Structure 1
Amino acid sequence: MSPSLDHSSSILIIGAGTWGCSTALHLARRGYTNVKVLDPYPVPSPIAAGNDVNKIMEHKELKSKNPDPTSVAFATCTRAALKGWQTDPVFQPYFHETGFIVSGHTPALIQHIKEDEIDSSDAQYTPLETADDFRRTMPPGVLTGEFPGWKGWLSKEGAGWIHARKAMVSAYTEAQRLGVKFITGTSGKVVALSYENGDVVGAQTEDGISHRADHTILAAGAGSDRLLDFKKQLRPTAWTLCHIKMTPDEADKYRNLPVLFNIAKGFFMEPDEDKHELKICDEHPGYCNFVQEPASSGELRSVPFAKHQIPLEAEARARDFLRDTMPHLADRPFAFARICWDADTADRAFLIDRHPDHPSLLVAVGGSGNGAMQMPTIGGFISDALEGRLQKELKDVVRWRPEIAVDRDWHSTQNRSGGPDRIMDFQSVKDDEWTQIE
């Protein structure tokens, strides 16, 4: 039985990232008056996946007439998120509906896109068959590459990019205005959940304070795995990104461009409007940081860490993507780079549910690489789960489900392509095999 819940109930949210800020906002909008958020860093946290100049936002209607429940649930979430990006005044200024190009460069990848990613017979998708087709999607001089073997499809509606950092700060600011209390720094760094009589009654922070609450929501992204035994349901996984400094004139030319995404090579979005930096990501199944805990006899786990550099192999992949698409930029120095963590569930569906053994604890984790685009509305679904009224098509998919992770292969690519087509391990990257960007 879940404990009682009313608008005066004390609610503690652990994590002030994308999902934590969204949840705080939605709870405040619903009239909850006693909401507190804990995080080790001020918003925007330097280690939050959502602290980024841009992220992809794409909604695809279901292609199959008999889609699987996970696809239905994801489409439900992205459909709601798109409406939020288009209409919610807290988020609308940070959505750029510029379009989206999905592409591949081998026959197998192109066939995969046709079968699983899009409905190529839909007039919404414009086929791109040649290098000239790709070049014509953007102003002259932007795409100068030969696109060897590439084919793709351009969708102009319901897709583009979001300024994730500014949107997260906007959600935080509005939640705070509505009465949510944010505690950050040492006073917000949670070191353990607090238990009484088998239930979770809050959390303890590094400064020795115990924060009691009627309901606790664990939404600490990849860090959630350090605070609770998820029974192998979460695998912290990292990706790599880098920025190239552009001149003001170049930045103007690169405005309002569709996202260009190759499902095995990488993607780029237009330059940040403040610093004029072009973001490039190399595409790959992800990095983990595998260690044994305890060191002598423990189980293998992926442990997140922060770093504002990327492996040299990731730099090489990013520059390979540029040589195909924008070779005039391929040798420019990077102005910034970092690794970006998320948490993969075993089936890459979100995990939003009351804990079966601790009824006062709700987990809201498992973005699985698709969490940031959900920012306007994911907090509403999390609030629904807290209130016990999450719609069935979502509830059945995002439930607590350790049974599917019992024999989990920690090295599974989970159907992601690119790089060496395997999960990479930061433990294998030597100290001198990282970029040295100042």
Structure 2
Amino acid sequence: MVKEQQGNNVRSSATPAVLNKESSILVIGAGTWGSSTALHLARRGYRNITVLDPYPSPSPIAAGNDINKILELSSSAPRGSHERYVGDKLADDAIRGWKEDPVYQGLYHETGAVTAATSERGRHALNEGDGYSEADGWRPLKTKQDFQKTMPDGVLTGDFPGWQGWTKNDGCGWVEARHALLRTIAEAERHGVSFVGGERGQVLSLIYEHGDVRGAVVVEGPAFRADRTILCAGANAARIFDMQGQLRPTAWTLAHIPMTPEETTLYRNLPVLFNIERGFFMEPDADKHELKICDEHPGYCNWETSPGDDPRHVSVPFAYHQIPIDAEQRVRQFLRETMPHLADRPFSHARICWCADTPNRAFLITQHPSYPSLVLGVGGSGHGFSYMPAIGGVIADCLEDRMDSQMKQLFRWRPETATDRDWTDLQSRFGPDGSNHVMDFQKVVGWTSVSQAA
């Protein structure tokens, strides 16, 4: 595996070592992108891959370590545009992986989707561009009855005040997220990848020698030296490497509601319901029979407030298995409008979930221009999980310097996009009245006290 640093007697140079199948490769981060990258590299024949993470795999704070995730890979970029080409190519590769790769087969549930908005502004945003139209197979929803008919009787019992939207039966649905992460890690290990968790895998800093990166210093034990280092640390990446303002760690909130066996049967194979101003839900998971509800909002940041610093520029991720009381209220508002029979049911689980936004929400997958042995695979921007079967291949292509030219341009190192960045930018996200802004964990006045299910 990757050599552990025993001293300063390892030769270093600003010119990266020639990449071959025996090269030592260090992947920092064992979440969705890190594990996918490790698997793709191992399948390409690389035999010396180590993945570091502060937690045993799968990490309990990884965004992908979740019971389910929405899978809708349509692009709202204009047809014929550079962004549309990249989005469509990535989507095609990802869908092929979800359906055909033995690691992921059976985890994608193509149940369809219901997408909606409540306010005039939200409906306008939903209907503009190429995303939703009857020409693309979507059917309009304009009344309470329209929404209720998308699911079996007894599911959507609410009044849907102000709701309008679209529904489609194919090309979208949801994925068993945690199982996807577990399977990816297991398959990577089967190919010889080493996953190191805990303080032994917690990175303090990168190793800089002669103008290049040569691995990472960790909390416990010798540092890990490597011929190539790939940073896939998600919201924590900016704590390890200076991203020059290109990443804004942003968090969202979720809760679970326990369901009876009868309810679980009734809610099986439902289309995903997503209101861009209220929230979303998918069918209960098969393991614990819990319904996951997410309230929708532009996100929370945790602004650091050190004396003399500008707090807007440093959002510090943290793990917490509770959510703000305000988030609970939004979850219950969503339920009152859609499934009021569940609106007062106690939560069995709640947590915050981190991602990292780039200024334009395009991924950041590139060889760093100043450190030739460092590859970045970060900036999921709230939509990175859907591409899990394919994204590791893009990062592996970047390592091998054979990335698709248009992806290379769109996902390049681009600190100029963060000049005078608006750290409160909503980035085309919505929320209910009073919550349609980026919120601050430092200003939260109360948290839930959910007793987490075993």
1:79 deviation in Å? 2.2
Cα distance in structure 1, aligned partners of 2:77 and 2:427: 21
Cα distance in structure 2, aligned partners of 1:123 and 1:200: 47
Match of 1:41 among 45, 50, 55: 55
Residue deviations 1:31-68 (CA, integer Å, cap 9, x gap): 1111110111111111100110001111226673343x
Cα distance in structure 2, aligned partners of 1:312 and 1:72: 41
1:121 deviation in Å? 3.0
Contact 1:62 1:72 in 2 (8 A): no
Cα distance in structure 1, aligned partners of 2:130 and 2:386: 17
Residue 10 of structure 2: aligned partner: none
1:117 deviation in Å? 5.9
Whether 1:262 aligns to 2:275 is: yes
* Equivalence map 1:261-340=2 (5 Å): 261-292=274-305, 294-297=306-309, 300-340=313-353
Whether 1:57 aligns to 2:71 is: yes
* Letter of the 1:245 counterpart: P
* Equivalence map 1:196-275=2 (5 Å): 196-275=209-288
Residue 342 of structure 1: aligned partner: 355
Residue deviations 1:258-292 (CA, integer Å, cap 9, x gap): 10000111000111111111000000000000014
Bigger strand fraction: 1
Cα distance in structure 1, aligned partners of 2:392 and 2:196: 19
Cα distance in structure 1, aligned partners of 2:122 and 2:380: 24
1:330 deviation in Å? 0.6
* Equivalence map 1:373-384=2 (5 Å): 373-384=386-397
Residue deviations 1:209-256 (CA, integer Å, cap 9, x gap): 111100000001101110000000000000000000001111111011
* Equivalence map 1:87-236=2 (5 Å): 87-116=100-129, 118-122=131-135, 124-236=137-249
Whether 1:429 aligns to 2:444 is: yes
* Letter of the 1:422 counterpart: H
Residue 9 of structure 2: aligned partner: none
Residue 379 of structure 2: aligned partner: 366
Q: Structure 2: any 5+ residue segments left out of the alignment?
A: 1-14
Cα distance in structure 2, aligned partners of 1:360 and 1:230: 16
Cα distance in structure 1, aligned partners of 2:309 and 2:272: 46
* Equivalence map 1:59-98=2 (5 Å): 59-60=73-74, 64-67=78-81, 69-98=82-111
* Letter of the 1:57 counterpart: L
Residue deviations 1:71-98 (CA, integer Å, cap 9, x gap): 4323322221111111111012211111
1:379 aligns to what SS in structure 2?
A: helix
Contact 2:76 2:130 in 1 (8 A): no
1:298 deviation in Å? 5.6
Residue 11 of structure 1: aligned partner: 25
* Letter of the 1:416 counterpart: R
Match of 1:26 among 5, 30, 40: 40
Identity %: 55
Cα distance in structure 2, aligned partners of 1:230 and 1:59: 27
1:285 aligns to what SS in structure 2?
A: coil
* Letter of the 1:91 counterpart: Y
Cα distance in structure 2, aligned partners of 1:435 and 1:4: 53
Cα distance in structure 2, aligned partners of 1:183 and 1:66: 43
Residue 353 of structure 1: aligned partner: 366
Contact 2:78 2:129 in 1 (8 A): no
Contact 1:74 1:349 in 2 (8 A): no
Contact 2:73 2:386 in 1 (8 A): no
Distance 1:317 1:131, change over 3 A: same
Contact 1:243 1:279 in 2 (8 A): yes
Normalising by the residue count of structure 1, what TM-score does the alignment of the two structures yield? 0.96
2:365 aligns to what SS in structure 1?
A: strand
* Letter of the 1:77 counterpart: L
1:352 aligns to what SS in structure 2?
A: strand
Of 241-250 and 57-66, the range deviating more from structure 2 = 57-66
Distance 1:250 1:340, change over 3 A: same
Cα distance in structure 1, aligned partners of 2:266 and 2:67: 18
Residue deviations 1:187-211 (CA, integer Å, cap 9, x gap): 1111111111121000011113111
Residue deviations 1:318-360 (CA, integer Å, cap 9, x gap): 1111111101101111111000000000110000001111110
1:279 aligns to what SS in structure 2?
A: strand
